[in-house]
């Protein structure tokens, strides 16, 4: 009798569990998608209830059979974000603060997926794996910090360009010097190792050093942002508290924007620059002027070309600017010609960001705009 009661209780519990699971499942396009799991995952990612509901509806609107793939598929998430941005622009609500905050959360998660995606390259364990042309920063105790570049890597030693930097004493000799070498590996991390200078030589007609290999590489830090290589003209201004967030009408120092992320950028300027400078970089992204204010954290000076690459850490990036940068990095910015708009002479609307006279299609994405109004307004 006791065994019968136990079995009955177990059966009831199992049945209740099945009912809960079935209740959390809903058929969409012939495929089952667990809403309970979707909402739980969304909450873990920091989204609010209404934002998760909107994300789910965006997935359905994009004909994604299983909406949960948004939490691991970069391409599917990109499609949903792109669809959302396009609809917001058409409706003229893309600058709404609440919507910008929602986009910021989407980009945070998109960046997380990008940073954590499996890499083809492995972590370095020896200096024999360091590639040619790698930029190096060298510390010599009691002398200072120098800049160099890896010229050649063989099984016997590493050949680097003669370091440039502080003025050394007249009787100084590189041969026999002990040095700490630091470098940043793209899409990976920073590394540091100790080495000794074996000899001063000439490589390809230029003064160089041969240094010893090391099988002890310390991985100092992992990347925290996704950078995009670029080659855009920009202006550099010395930052002041009065003009930090204003678009400058007067041209500043000409420079080239080498790369950009939501946490900073790198620019090339003529001449030398000092670490610690507070600067403002102004450039155009798609059709809108953008501003990044920050501090110069390091400088790579090319003595032969008399040029410097400034590595700038952004201090504060407004949500709208950050979203625009990440949108450019992840390819979310559609060309204006690709947007479903039509040119007309009736009630034209002048877009502030492009100056192009456009008119919205009244039938475009009415359903999605209703969802946005219900969930985010």
pLDDT score recorded for residue 352: 38
- Least trusted range by pLDDT, from 73-77, 122-126, 208-212: 122-126
Evaluate whether the domain defined by 228-329 bears CATH number 2.40.10.220: yes
Query: What whole-number distance in Å separates Cα of residue 354 and Cα of residue 253?
Result: 25
pLDDT score recorded for residue 18: 45
Contact 262, 322 (CB under 8 A): yes
- Crossing angle of helices 74-91 and 97-116, in 10° steps, is 160
Residue with tokens 């080239």: 256
The mean of the pLDDT values for the chain is 78
Residue of higher predicted confidence among 357 and 200: 200
118 by Cβ neighbours in 10 Å (0-12 / 13-18 / 19+) ranks as exposed
Residue of higher predicted confidence among 343 and 297: 297
Query: What whole-number distance in Å separates Cα of residue 78 and Cα of residue 69?
Result: 12
Could you tell me the fold of the domain covering 127-216? Pnp Oxidase; Chain A (2.30.110)
Strand-pair category, 264-270 with 307-314: antiparallel
- Least trusted range by pLDDT, from 11-15, 102-106, 136-140, 157-161: 11-15
Condensed to tens digits (0 to 9), the pLDDT of residues 249-290 reads 899 999 999 999 999 999 999 998 888 999 999 999 878 899
Residue 213 DSSP label: -
Residue 366 has pLDDT above 70, yes or no: no
Domain assignments of the chain as residue spans, ordered by start: 2-119, 127-216, 228-329
Condensed to tens digits (0 to 9), the pLDDT of residues 323-352 reads 999 999 998 865 443 333 222 233 333 333
Residue with tokens 């598929």: 73
Condensed to tens digits (0 to 9), the pLDDT of residues 69-118 reads 888 888 888 888 888 888 888 888 878 888 899 889 889 888 888 877 76
- What is the average per-residue pLDDT within 195-201? 95
Query: What whole-number distance in Å separates Cα of residue 130 and Cα of residue 59?
Result: 43
Alpha helix ranges (H) inside the chain: 2-23, 35-44, 49-61, 74-91, 97-116, 319-329, 366-376
């Amino acid at each position: 009798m006791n065994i019968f009661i136990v079995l009955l209780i177990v059966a009831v519990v199992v049945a209740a569990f099945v009912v809960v699971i079935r209740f959390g499942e809903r058929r969409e396009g012939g495929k089952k998608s667990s809403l309970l799991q979707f909402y739980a995952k969304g909450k873990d990612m920091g989204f609010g209830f209404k934002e998760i509901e909107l994300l789910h509806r965006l997935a359905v609107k994009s004909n994604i059979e299983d909406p949960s793939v948004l939490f691991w598929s970069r391409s599917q998430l990109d499609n949903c974000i792109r669809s959302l941005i396009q609809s917001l622009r058409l409706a003229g609500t893309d600058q709404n603060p609440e919507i910008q905050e929602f986009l910021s959360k989407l980009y945070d998660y998109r960046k997380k997926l990008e940073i954590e995606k499996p890499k083809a390259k492995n972590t370095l364990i020896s200096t024999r794996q360091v590639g040619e042309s790698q930029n190096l920063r060298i510390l010599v105790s009691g002398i200072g910090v120098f800049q160099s570049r890896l010229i050649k890597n063989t099984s016997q030693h590493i050949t680097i360009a003669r370091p440039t930097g502080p003025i050394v004493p007249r009787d100084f000799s590189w041969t026999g010097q002990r040095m700490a070498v630091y470098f940043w590996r793209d899409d990976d991390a920073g590394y540091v190792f100790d080495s000794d200078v074996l000899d001063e030589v000439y490589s390809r007609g230029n003064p160089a050093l041969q240094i010893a290999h090391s099988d002890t590489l310390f991985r100092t830090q992992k990347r925290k942002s996704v950078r995009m290589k670029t080659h855009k003209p920009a202006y550099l201004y010395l930052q002041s508290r009065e003009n930090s967030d204003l678009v400058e009408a007067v041209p500043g120092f000409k420079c080239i924007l080498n790369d950009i992320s939501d946490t900073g950028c790198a620019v090339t300027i003529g001449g030398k620059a000092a670490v610690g400078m507070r600067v403002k970089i102004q450039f155009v992204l798609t059709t809108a002027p953008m501003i990044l204010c920050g501090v110069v954290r390091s400088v790579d000076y090319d003595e032969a070309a008399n040029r410097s690459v400034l590595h700038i850490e952004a201090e504060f990036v407004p949500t709208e600017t950050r979203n625009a940068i990440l949108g450019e990095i992840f390819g979310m910015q559609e060309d204006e010609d690709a947007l479903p708009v039509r040119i007309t002479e009736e009630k034209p609307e002048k877009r502030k960001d492009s100056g192009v006279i456009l008119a919205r299609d009244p039938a475009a994405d009415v359903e999605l705009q209703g969802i946005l109004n219900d969930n985010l307004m």
